[in-house]
Amino acid sequence: MNEEVLYIPVILASVIGLIALNGLSYYSQKSKAIPEVAWVLLLGILYGLAADNTSMGLPELTLSADLILFIFVPLLIFGSTQTMCLHHFRKVLAPASLTATVGISISMFVTAFVLMALTDISLLESLIFGVVVAATDPLAIGAILEGNKKLSENMKLLIEGESILNDGFVVTVFGILALIVFENHIFSVVRDVGGFIFHVAGAIILGVVLGRVARFILKIWHAMQFTLVANITIALAFGSFLLADHYNMSGVLAVFAAALSFGYKQENLSKEFHLQEYVWDYGQYVANSVLFFLLGASVISQGSLSELRLAQALVVLITLLGSRIIALVVLRPFIKVDGAIISWLKLLVLNFAGARGAVSIALILLLPDSFVFKATFLNMTFLLVLGSLLLFPPITSKLIKQL
């Protein structure tokens, strides 16, 4: 009987949450001022506040790094990438790769130097925070980009592709820095640079091979039912990530390469084949909603924003407004879209399209509990994610209207 009573508030909260989610989806699509994920995030914060009130009987929800990286990341990256055309993406591959590597490095050092100047945190520890918060998430502005006529398809591909590529780069650099800081790893140019190349190139090759194998299986089976294709693509998304991670390669880049390779040259396929895209659209919608709801609830259960000091808040503010734009301004002469150097207005769009997301939270959670600054980094990252999700989409929408 007690178990039944315990489940009642959970079921009631789920029903209310679904109704609220439908309402948020409707109004966010109409206004497009604040993205749906931002509303879901706020809904999660309200749930966290309610769960903190023990008299309501709601269970406390928390996020774990493994849940984000092994469940949500493969789904969201594959779902975002499978709709891209490899032929078109090649046109923005150079600027996307440049901003996802050199741009992230510049942003990482800017944040690290600011953190060092305002706190007593060392360089290597500051670099860990700098690279973690450099990762961007295109999901927050996906609704703004979708169907927008003022942005070219190449510009949209640059925004989405750069974000996915920089996630892979960030995870790789984070792993190297974590080894140096926490396991007394001595950096070696030959060994670590070689390992980095293997981490990246191996993941891309693995993803391409698995993607083509999946297409070959469907071809020899002469079966294009959407249920079969959906099953194959789900297996491809999780399989490529897990296999890459097992062999110490980038799971993010493996999923990205697998999705591009699988989806290349999709013309003249049956309608049933394309029905699986609706399955992925709904899967993305559910995964995205659950992820940001848990992220909001975790602000209350795992973070403590009230404990942030002024210096730490300043680091967050400077990082939010300055680190990425500095990197993009430095690289602007080399960022070409549609055959021309990107305009200053489009540069601002690219900057504010880079909201921070759950990957940053996952990497902070991967830090050892013995790390003295883990709680500080987590609180700062929570604030950075909240700020970017609430501020960046409206700014991006206004900038696009000026194009």
SS3 content of the chain, % helix, strand, coil (to 5): 80, 0, 20
Q: Mark out the alpha helices in 104-145 (DSSP H runs).
A: 104-118, 123-132, 142-145
The predicted model gives 140-164 an average pLDDT of 79
What residues does 336 pair with on adjacent strands?
Answer: 341
pLDDT tens figures, 13-65: 667 767 776 776 666 666 555 667 778 888 888 888 888 776 766 778 888 88
- pLDDT for position 103: 95
**Average per-residue pLDDT in the chain?**
84
Report field, pTM of the whole predicted structure over 0.95: no
Report the alpha-carbon distance of residue 168 to residue 258 in Å, rounded: 14
- pLDDT for position 263: 79
**Do 263 and 84 form a contact (C-beta atoms < 8 A)?**
yes
The Cα-based distances of 281 to 81, 102, 275, 329, 368 in angstroms read: 12, 32, 10, 34, 35
Model confidence band, residue 1 (pLDDT cutoffs 50, 70, 90):
very low
Rounded-to-10 torsion of CA 386, 162, 206, 175: -50
Model confidence band, residue 391 (pLDDT cutoffs 50, 70, 90):
confident
Centre a 10 Å sphere on the Cβ of residue 183 and count the other Cβ atoms it contains: 8
Instruction: Check residues 313 and 130 and name the one with the higher pLDDT.
Output: 130
The predicted model gives 275-287 an average pLDDT of 80
The Cα-based distances of 121 to 38, 273, 317, 321, 365 in angstroms read: 31, 53, 17, 21, 18
- pLDDT for position 48: 85
What residues does 340 pair with on adjacent strands?
Answer: 337
